[in-house]
Structure 1
Amino acid sequence: MDYSAQFRREATGELTLKPSPEAVALAAAYRKNPTPGRSWPAARVKEEAIARVAAAGGDSSCHQLVLSESALQFGQYRGKTFKWLLSNDVGYAAMVLAVHQREREDGDTTQSFIMGNKDALLRYAGLFPVMMAAISERRVREGHGTPAQEDQVLVGFGNFAAMSFKDLYEATDRDRKGFVKWVKRQSSRPGTKMELFQKYIRRRDAEMLPGSAPPVAASSSAPEEEPSDEALLAVVSHMDVSGGNYVGLNLPFNLRILCYCTFICPTGLLYVI
């Protein structure tokens, strides 16, 4: 017994977002008769999942298996297992979990049966990087993605369709670097994967630009600025001619020397300047 979802894929290697025929039929039936069912607490959901694993001959102590057989407690696929959902309607799962992630990040700590069930579904989705990439892309397209989530989005076109934005952008070999340069020069249609990747490239390019150098602090050992003629004359006017002392002034050393020379030799002022 395997806990992995049976993901359906496009020719590019990306996950198929459209619902399977079985999922389409269930969703249509739900829309015709949207009778809300009862949501059960996490303990009961887990208990029933363990029973399903045991009945199928699986290891009921395996956390991943139990998660895979846990039943949805909300929405149009209520009662179906997490594994069934990721195998039949990745688009719906990505939409639900993108919203749920954002709610939790925004500080929603609600512990209702439904929110707890979505927490468990997110843990199950987290077992599969390709599923997390689909959730990340959903959030990026909605304008709520973080830089880390942008990194995870798959390119989805060209020879490197199965690579993430981050891995392709940071590649150092000639072919991949050339592909990134080629993408930057193209005109893309709004909403396409190419446009999304171009936005990512522009953001990363901007981050790579060197910032302005911080201002260099003045060194304490830098030479003192040469005093002006006016400063020297002002100092001389405050000297005590009887002994070459300064009257109540706290002067820099270079001014003290120059003023002392001026007092000893009245013609020294012209010489020093």
Structure 2
Amino acid sequence: MKKTTNFFPGRKTVSFRKGPSGHLRQDPSDEAMRIKTDPSLQDKSPAQLQHHVSTNALTAVLQRGGDVSDRHEVMGEYGLQFGKYNGKSFRWLLENDIGYVIYLIKTVEEEERAGKFNPQGNSKDSLLSFLDYARSFQEVEDLREYLSSRKPASPVASEGDTIVGFGVRAKDTWEQIWKSRADGYAAFILGVKCIKNSKMSNLQQQRAESGPLQPHPEL
């Protein structure tokens, strides 16, 4: 049997965190959460020039025996030059907080569409490089497509427009229940929502019989 030679024993790839269904987990890892909640763990160093960032990444890949000709692997070692994860590698961010990655992509795209994105400075250079790196992964693009395909919930104009959802009038709104309170159903609902014969129950019964509360003159 011919023995194969591994020319790059130190090669590293992104290990995405996935849930039971195979989708990327968007919640931050324990390490990311500690950084988010503890400012003392955040790197406050000023942003470096892109040239220094790329040189440091090449050195890191070379020292661990990675493939310096692989753009993905080298960019994975780029250090972030912005935000609460400043100093962490591009690969680290994909592995630890995909939710933040999606937020960054969405925010920049919205600013570009509105003509408000102004990429200047070392931090912006780092951000653009990271977005280029993140979008090159099919897993990230699949998640973005999935999120954009979900239909947003229909907005509710007010609490009165909310469907009751239970009982003989489950399909009615709370406003409909209140407007037809002469039939006693509104009083019944208010009465069963608390302890029988309690002061609160009596107060709710009075509110049901007297009509909607009027705003206090001082409010």
Misfit runs of 4+, over 6 Å = none
Q: Is the 8 A contact 1:3 1:64 kept in 2?
A: no
Q: What residue number does 1:117 align with? A: 126
TM (norm. structure 2) is: 0.58
Q: What residue number does 2:94 align with? A: 86
Q: What residue number does 2:18 align with? A: 9
Report the count of equivalent residues: 144
Alpha-carbon distance, 1:109 to partner: 4.2
Q: What residue number does 1:23 align with? A: 32
Is residue 43 of structure 2 the alignment partner of residue 50 of structure 1? no
Alignment equivalent of 2:80, drawn from 53, 72, 78: 72
Higher relative contact order (CA 8 A, sep 6+): 2
Using the alignment, how far apart are the partners of 2:11 and 2:105 within structure 1? 23
Q: What residue number does 2:67 align with? A: 59
Using the alignment, how far apart are the partners of 2:43 and 2:137 within structure 1? 32
Is residue 143 of structure 2 the alignment partner of residue 153 of structure 1? no
TM (norm. structure 1) is: 0.47
Is residue 49 of structure 2 the alignment partner of residue 41 of structure 1? yes
Is residue 137 of structure 2 the alignment partner of residue 128 of structure 1? yes
Using the alignment, how far apart are the partners of 1:35 and 1:72 within structure 2? 10
Instruction: Using the aligned pairs only, state the percent identity.
Output: 28
How does 1:88-237 map onto structure 2 within 5 Å? 88-107=96-115, 108-134=117-143, 136=144, 152-153=145-146, 165=149, 193=150, 195-196=151-152
Q: Is the 8 A contact 2:43 2:84 kept in 1?
A: no
Q: Which has the larger radius of gyration?
A: 1
Give 3-state SS (helix, strand or coil) of 1:153's partner: helix
Letter in 2 for 1:26: I
Alpha-carbon distance, 1:60 to partner: 1.5
Q: Measured at CA, do residues 35 and 10 of structure 1 come closer, stay the same or move farther in structure 2, by a change above 3 Å?
A: closer
Using the alignment, how far apart are the partners of 1:75 and 1:41 within structure 2? 16
Q: Measured at CA, do residues 58 and 34 of structure 1 come closer, stay the same or move farther in structure 2, by a change above 3 Å?
A: closer
Using the alignment, how far apart are the partners of 2:91 and 2:43 within structure 1? 23
Alpha-carbon distance, 1:36 to partner: 3.3
Alpha-carbon distance, 1:196 to partner: 4.3
Aligned CA RMSD, in angstroms, stands at 2.5
Q: Measured at CA, do residues 35 and 79 of structure 1 come closer, stay the same or move farther in structure 2, by a change above 3 Å?
A: closer
